[in-house]
Chains A and B, each alone.
Chain A
Amino acid sequence: MSARLIALAVAAAALASLPYWLIGDYYVNVASQILFYAIFALGLNILAGYAGLVSLGHAALFGITAYALAYTMQAGFGHPAAIVVALVVGMIAMAVFAMLSLRATGIGFIMITLALGEIVWGLAYRWISVTNGDNGINVHTRPTPFGLSLDSPVAFYYATLIVFAICVVAVALFVRSPLGAALMGTRDQPRRMNALGFHVWAIRFWACMFSGLLTAVSGVLFIYYTQFISPQTLELTSSAEVLLMVISGGAGTLLGPIVGSALVVIVKSVVSGYIERWNMLLGFIFVAIVILMPEGIVPGSVRLWRLAWRKMSAPPRPAAAEGKP
């Protein structure tokens, strides 16, 4: 446990001091992106990892939150009101998604969420009189909490980092809570959980709501970061990308979605500056992960590390013992 605490302290110190050793605003912005996408991935991981419900419609929830914020700002409200409205709208959207999609599990759940995501995307894309279509909507300012401007990349990074830290702690507490344990029970043995008197549907529903809250939070950070929302954000590809972050990093782990988010964002925004075929690279990385460690990078690395550790620390067997009797 103490090794874990040390690792946590090192990670916290590294994240807090990041703007001092990253040269240039560009990389600070990349770090902010990793953090808010990590929140998004943590939110999806509640479902895909801990509940065993794979959603391919989360980008729609993310986008609905962002659109809600943009509309509220356009209507002339201030930032606090806009953020509250955005979060509430995001949660309501999640509740509707959950009511419809929780009728199924497995592939059925994937398909219903995908259909819902496509419906929302189709509306955003085609209902131009309302959503302004591909031209999207701009949000011209960022909020100023406690009078501090978030316009500089470093300030925005720290704001994102604080929200990120709160979210990580919330997820860690959720996973260890009785509800988290019950959720994993419904993932592994839904019928037994039902027989034990747990309300499987309700547990899944509240997991969806927590997932939706995290998604909405990341959606708010996203729209303040890009200051722009268009239907592209709601595409199936975006939902798939977040799901890929979760699965490649390691679904059902706390660290996995964060690592996955770092992997995808770094390949997308940094490596793409050097390699033209970064999409192909990302595809090959995903296939390689599936072949080498289908459980994801984080659990896979732990497994390989333990294997190597055991091999190294195991006392060499006497040669005679290995010979056939």
Chain B
Amino acid sequence: MNLTSWLLLTVNSVTFGGLLFLVSAGFSLIFGLMRIPNLTHGSLFMLGAYFGATFVGGMLGMMFNFWLATLLAALLVAALGALIERFLLRQLPGNQLAQVLVTLGISFIAADFCLMVWGGDPISVAPPAELTGFIRAGPLVFPTYRLAVIAIAVVVAIALWLLLERTRLGAMIRAGVDDPDMARVVGIRVSKLFTIVFALGAGLAAFAGVIGGPILTVYPGIDQYMLPLALVVVILGGSGSLLGSIVGSLLIGFIYNFGQALLPELAYFVLFLPMLLVLLLRPQGLFGRFVP
């Protein structure tokens, strides 16, 4: 491989890392705060992707602006997430087996629902008109949209950081992650935080689904593709840590893209190996504050 393809691979890795960050930031918060194995997260991503494809592709009779479609899909899925948390997960505190059963049940329903409504063919999503085309830097050519995804991820990361570190709600969430019992004692309604964080995580996953649509295309099974990746990021970075999901996403973005290019036969092996090593050597993750 020459220098150009190395550079392109690097940009792709960062783009994929950005996308992974959008999916896993919420996942990490849910995991860190609620300590539940949320196996619906891939489905929430997929629902967002399909909603986005529908709005952007004009399947409802009118074409939505890409950003409006993104916002709409994120809000819809966030509302769905809030309902799931409020009416199902809320009933099962501490009952891990029932949590696994209900989250997997929902992911079955979501997968079949998407198959029923949108069929089995992959749907390609057009990126917004202002971001089509390429950016040239000397001899190098980068697709504009991929660079835009990186920018979006950075903006979301800053927004999340401000939310977590500079607002009252963020302080309460951090308290809940660090010590839920103590947070309750000092008067934080942790169960209310659960709903907010779950909805936020669901909305972010759906947001990532729409943003990722033009890169990945939307197809049945994308939920099962995304869930393990998000899980690897969270395990690697440490649950409940924003910095952890940023570093984890970038690492996995690089490992995944370079692995596919250099060691196609062992691509998944090199992807899950770091997760295993972290689990064994540093169970709380690189930046996590507690052992799951």
Q: Which residues of A contact B (CB under 8 A)?
A: 48, 54, 100, 103-104, 106-108, 110-112, 114-116, 118-119, 121-123, 125-129, 235-237, 240, 243-244, 247-248, 251, 277, 279-280, 282-287, 289-291, 294
Contact = CB atoms under 8 A, between A and B. Distances in A.
B239 to A, nearest CB: 9
Contacts of A106: 96, 292
Contacts of B88: 287, 290-291
B116 interface: yes
27 contacts: A48-B97, A54-B37, A107-B35, A107-B292, A110-B100, A112-B276, A112-B279, A115-B231, A115-B232, A115-B272, A122-B266, A122-B268, A122-B269, A125-B268, A126-B264, A126-B267, A236-B227, A237-B224, A243-B100, A248-B101, A279-B112, A282-B105, A283-B107, A286-B101, A286-B102, A290-B88, A290-B92
B291 A108 contact: yes
A119 B271 CA distance: 8
A119 B96 contact: no
B272 A119 contact: yes
A250 to B, nearest CB: 10
B19 interface: no
Interface string B114-152: 011000000000000000000000000000000000000
Q: Decide if the interface of chain A is mainly helix, strand, loop or mixed.
A: helix
Given A237-B224, A280-B113, A126 B266 contact: yes
B158 interface: no
Given A236-B228, A280-B116, A104 B279 contact: yes
Given A54-B96, A286-B104, A107 B109 contact: no
Interface residues of B, number: 49
Contacts of B62: none
Contacts of B280: 100, 103, 112
Contacts of A122: 266-269, 271-272
B106 interface: yes
Contacts of B97: 48, 54, 247, 251
